[in-house]
Amino acid sequence: MKPAPLTCHSPTSLDEALRLLHDIGSEAKVIAGGQSLVPVLNMRLATPGHLVDITGLPGLDEIRVGAEAVEVGARVTHRQLERSPAAYAALPLLRQTLVNVAHPAIRNRGTTVGSIAHADPNGEMPMILALTGGTVTAVSVRGERTLAAADLFVGPLETVLEPDEILVCARFGRFPEGTRTGFTELARRSGDYALAGAALAVQVIAGQMQQARMGFVSVTEVPTVLDLTDLVAGRAADQSAAVAEAVVERVHAHIDPESDIHATAEYRRHLTGVLARRLLTDLTTGEPARTSEEALRGAS
């Protein structure tokens, strides 16, 4: 289907974009890469009268690697972030996860910040923002505010953002020394949204596990972080099998999967436990393994 009639505005400055959003009001919608919004418009699930395109705004196209965080501008595509050597070196989890977001043709246009604004519980990057203790900065004609992931997401496809606010960047927090990370998911076809997915960050110092956190895709309503530190701290990494059962139990208690035509809630629960155990094993018994997906889809 085709979208309903609309006016597409192409502002050339952030101020102009904010003014447009404010003046037009609830009939206006921000469009970045359009990879989530245009399907919705094509199916006429939404019929905004005005779109404010932010892909022409100057200065939102940078990836900045700092000591504390990797800052990603609103125009940076999934693909640019995935391919950034500096971002990979600072926070490998970004690339490890991004190669699982849709297909390259979608990642070439879709933005990472846009997927965070979209707040889909099936989306990988909102979860990664939460897992890394990240923040976003939103601006409007009223000024600027910075929000922690925990304060941003309020429900499936729902954030605290006002309709006239633009997210200008997201900051993914960097992990402390010795942190190993991994992401794994199961999708019915390559590039599909995951039936279930999980990411793990576990710190290993002198062979001992210290902090550990896990995040999940498609099995929680909003991105939440499961802290596993009390289960693993002080244990030898190569003995992680001893705590695997307890980790899986903790995961099962934390998640809240739903049934749909693709999988039952019970299956998703089981699957998430399997993925969690696999991540723990991969990251603690040997070198952090690249997922086969990542190897296959050539993050080069």
Stretch that binds ligand FAD, among 2-10, 121-129, 141-149, 254-262 (CB under 6 A): 121-129
CA distances from 166 to 117, 138, 185 (A): 9, 5, 30
* Least distance CB 31 / other proteins (angstroms): 7
Other residues' Cβ atoms within 10 Å of the Cβ of residue 43: 10
User: In the window 58-87, what residues touch other proteins (CB under 8 A)?
Assistant: 79
| Structural contact between residues 198 and 130, judged by C-beta atoms closer than 8 angstroms | no
Name the strand (E) or helix (H) holding 39: helix 37-42
Binding-site partner at residue 223 among other proteins, ligand FAD, none, CB < 5 to 8 Å by type: none
Residues 6+ apart with CB under 8 A from 243: 231, 232, 235, 280
Question: Which one of residues 17, 21, 30, 51 is an interface residue with other proteins (CB under 8 A)?
Answer: 51
Tell me if 298 contacts other proteins by CB under 8 A. yes
CA distance 47 to 73: 27
Tell me if 8 contacts other proteins by CB under 8 A. yes
CA distance 168 to 182: 27
Tell me if 281 contacts other proteins by CB under 8 A. no
Tell me if 103 contacts other proteins by CB under 8 A. yes
Per-position x/- string for 179-208, each x denoting binding to other proteins as judged by CB under 8 A, each - no binding: ----------xxx-----------------
DSSP code at position 175: P
Per-position x/- string for 69-108, each x denoting binding to ligand FAD as judged by CB under 6 A, each - no binding: -----x--------------------------xx---x--
**Closer to other proteins at the Cβ: 174 or 297?**
297
Tell me if 262 contacts other proteins by CB under 8 A. no
**Closer to other proteins at the Cβ: 49 or 178?**
49
Half-sphere exposure of 207 (CA within 13 A, CB side): 3
Tell me if 123 contacts ligand FAD by CB under 6 A. yes
* Least distance CB 200 / other proteins (angstroms): 24
CA distance 170 to 201: 19
